[in-house]
Structure 1
Amino acid sequence: MRRIDIIGIGIGVFAAGGIAYFLLLVAGLDSLEAGIWSQVFLVGGLVGWLLTYLFRVGTKRMTYNQQLKDYEEAVLQKRLEELTPEELAQMQAEIERENKLKK
């Protein structure tokens, strides 16, 4: 994420809190209750976001991990494409021998 994205998200969260506060005032709550409930919504949203973040960390679905995996697969694919047919046949024969030894 770029710095401007983070600033935009921060402004959006701040604006969402203000909008929630004013909507609660319009709904008939007094200013103290509206303030408390708007904070409850914002803290609840923050905790929800934190839980999704921790889930992505736990399942290794973070952007860096995905980029690293994609890069490694691209490098292996490129190396495989650069092999001559003889080298490819030799590699396949070695893999078959290793598989037979494991059984």
Structure 2
Amino acid sequence: MRRIDVIGIGLGIFIAGGVVYGFFKAVGLDSVDAGIWSQVILVGGLVGWLLTYLFRAVTQNMTYNQQLKDYEDAVLQKRLEEMTPEELAALQAEVEQEKRALKQTKDEG
């Protein structure tokens, strides 16, 4: 995120807080109550955003993780496309051998 984005988001939240405060004043609350309720909404929104962030961090569903996975998939796909048929056959034989060895280990254990 760029510095200007952070400044814009901060300014937007500041303005939204003023709008919510003005709304509560227009509804008929006095200045103190309007300030308290606008702060309650601000803190509630902040806690909600924090919970969604923590959920995405724990499930590794964040932008960086998705970009890294997409990059790794693209690199593997490109490597597969560049392999000759003989190399592909050798790779497939190696995978099958490892599957058999893994199955044998599971059966013994």
Pairwise same-fold verdict (TM > 0.5)? yes
Structure 1 equivalent of residue 57 of structure 2:
57
Structure scoring higher RCO (CA < 8 A, sep ≥ 6) equals 1
Offset at 1:102? 2.4
Structure 2 equivalent of residue 25 of structure 1:
25
Structure 1 equivalent of residue 67 of structure 2:
67
Structure 2 equivalent of residue 46 of structure 1:
46
**Cα separation, 2, equivalents of 1:60 and 1:102:** 28
Offset at 1:43? 0.6
Aligned-partner residue type, residue 15 of structure 1: I
Structure 1 equivalent of residue 83 of structure 2:
83
Higher alpha-carbon deviation: 58-67 or 32-41: 58-67
Offset at 1:55? 0.6
Query: TM-score with structure 1 length normalisation?
Result: 0.94
Identity of paired residues, percent? 72
1:24-54 Cα deviation digits (max 9, x unpaired): 0000000110000000000110111111111
**Cα separation, 2, equivalents of 1:34 and 1:3:** 31
Offset at 1:70? 1.1
Count residues with an aligned counterpart. 103
Higher alpha-carbon deviation: 36-45 or 93-102: 93-102
Query: TM-score with structure 2 length normalisation?
Result: 0.89
- Matched residue of 2:29: which SS? coil
**Cα separation, 1, equivalents of 2:3 and 2:61:** 22
Moved over 6 A (4+): none
- Matched residue of 1:29: which SS? coil
